[in-house]
Amino acid sequence: MNLIEYIESRRDEHLNELKEFLRIPSVSTKSEHKPDIERAAHWVAEKLRAAGLENVEITPTKMHPLVYGESLHAPGKPTVLFYGHYDVQPAEPLDLWTSPAFEPTVRDGKLFGRGTADDKGQVHIHIKALEALKNQTGKLPLNVKVMIEGEEEVGSVSLWDFVQRNRERLKADALVVSDTSMLAKGVPSITYGLRGLNYYQVEVAGPAQDLHSGVFGGAAPNPITILAEMIAKLHDRNFRVAIPGFYDDVTPLSRQERKALNSLPWKEKEFRKTVGAPALDGEKGFTIVERLWTRPTLELNGIWGGYLGEGAKTVIPAKAYAKFSTRLVPNQDPAKIAKLVERHIRQLLPKSVTCNFQVLSTGKPWVAPYTHPIFQTAIHALESGFGKKAVFIREGGSIPFVTQMHDTFKVPCVLLGFGLPDENAHAPDEHIALENYFGGIKAVALFYQQLAAQ
Ligand code: BES
Ligand code: MN
Ligand code: MN
């Protein structure tokens, strides 16, 4: 039996094991799930051992444990560092799931459940690919280091500390990550660019306490109105971000790259369908692909204040709040952008209110050339694993760790994405196409095998 036949023969076993992983509700943002986080870390550690990794350790951190394992028995062969995350987003709103979030279920060739695409399913692809290689040949044919964290969805707070303390140990010829998407079904993809992310929260405070809106309305400042007016001024009519200096450091797309990105087999019609709104929106003068992958944005993520309960309550609230974020592209500097954003917001607000502005997290954008020969190996492996032509894409999501690794270790970062843009990551009915899960195991096993063979 060859490698591919072996993987084919294990389909049911692989799927059942992934379901086991998905049943652990390892939601990183909620303290009530701490025991589940611990369970998920142990589960990963056990599977790494089964895949032939050694020195498998569960390192406690200030927040959630990090799982590390390695196999270094291929002198002269390349060393890859694989990174992924075992934590997931909360499943709420629960009533919008067709089948329960932590009871993985197959429907129409898709596996549904929180973490299927982001990122447990994709992590499992690599674990099973490594295990297949080990079982086929008795040992792993290349040097592998695996690091799976439990804090990605809350900003990877402890990860960088671990990397700094283990710089020597983590040295590798390439970083491999599967936490992204394919361009479309049947189009295996390598992502060479991600946007950065700054996240903010603003509190606008007016009256010393809530006020009767009949007694005070008309003379007292209303923080909700003031916040809403301020927010409305953050974009102009062409949907450009109206913060002075926001675009100053944006590297323009080269003609060549613009052409390459716009000629990818990407279907606007499918994108419109996934969005599901009556019409699209966005910055004038750029194609949708350019807007999503190469342009910075400012997005409101939440806005609240005043009375939100049943029925009516005539009140002028003392405070109003908003959460928002900026997606960043090369060569924007997160710290500089945070300063510009804060300054502009303070300028927009009238003297009748005060403002508490917080930067909750920052993260750099990433884009890198794919000229290193490892990318050709990856493309070939994807094409053999899926039997389809593979492409290079950029994406709009953020994995700040990739930038940090690229900056620090200066190694090629190979992002093999097996999710799809319409698989509802972070939303109800998250799923992964079984075709991509099984195809992913084959492609990744071939990738590691071909790397070892060179
Ligand atoms: N896997 C995603 C990132 C992603 C999604 C990259 C889609 C490319 C395409 C990751 O788990 C994530 O959700 N990242 C967050 C930022 C993080 C700092 C919380 C994001 O992009 O909002
Ligand atoms: Mn992810
Ligand atoms: Mn995520």
Segment 119-155, tens digit of pLDDT: 999 999 999 999 999 999 899 999 999 999 999 999 8
> 87 catalytic, yes or no?
yes
pLDDT for the residue 23 = 98
What is the tens place of the pLDDT at every residue in 296-342?
999 999 999 999 999 999 999 999 999 999 999 999 999 999 999 99
Third-level CATH fold of 3-194+365-453: Aminopeptidase (3.40.630)
- What CATH number does domain 196-250+296-361 carry, 3.40.640.10, 2.60.120.200, 3.30.70.360, 3.90.1200.10? 3.30.70.360
CA 180 – ligand 2 centroid, Å: 7
Q: Which ligand is nearest to the CA of 417?
A: 1
Task: Tell how far CA 150 is from the center of its chain.
Answer: 13
Q: Please report which confidence band the pLDDT of residue 364 belongs to, taking 50, 70 and 90 as the band edges.
A: very high
What CA–CA distance (Å, rounded) separates 227 from 245?
22
pLDDT for the residue 101 = 98
Residue intervals in the chain for CATH 3.40.630.10: 3-194+365-453
What is the tens place of the pLDDT at every residue in 243-301?
999 999 999 999 999 999 999 999 999 999 999 999 999 999 999 999 999 999 999 99
Asked if residue 97 has pLDDT above 90, the reply is: yes
**Exactly one of 17, 70, 87, 118 is catalytic; which is it?**
87
Residues contacting ligand 1 via CB (< 6 Å): 118-119, 152-153, 155, 179-181, 194, 197, 363, 395, 397-400
pLDDT for the residue 32 = 98
Strands (E), 86-224: 105-107, 110-112, 143-149, 174-177, 189-194, 196-205, 211-212
Q: What is the mean pLDDT of the chain?
A: 97
Tokens standing for residue 300: 């409101």
CA 367 – ligand 2 centroid, Å: 18
Q: How many CB atoms lie within 10 A of CB 9?
A: 11
Which residue among 116, 149, 152, 326 is best mutated to probe the pocket of ligand 1, counting the most ligand atoms within 8 A of its Cβ?
A: 152
pLDDT for the residue 137 = 87
Q: Return phi, psi of residue 26, to 5°.
A: -85, 65
Which residue is closest in CA terms to ligand 1's atom 19?
153
Please give the average per-residue pLDDT across 194-212, as a whole number. Answer: 98
Residue intervals in the chain for CATH 3.30.70.360: 196-250+296-361
Asked if residue 157 has pLDDT above 90, the reply is: no
pLDDT for the residue 292 = 98
Cα dihedral value 404, 364, 345, 286, nearest 10: -170
Report the interhelical angle of 11-22 vs 34-50 (nearest 10°): 160
Which residue is closest in CA terms to ligand 1's atom 7?
397
Asked if residue 176 has pLDDT above 90, the reply is: yes
Asked if residue 78 has pLDDT above 90, the reply is: yes
Atom of ligand 1 nearest to the CA of 325: 22
| Category of 212 on φ-ψ map: left (φ > 0), alpha (ψ -120 to 50) or beta | beta
Q: Which ligand is nearest to the CA of 120?
A: 2
Structural contact between residues 45 and 105, judged by C-beta atoms closer than 8 angstroms = no
> 152 catalytic, yes or no?
yes
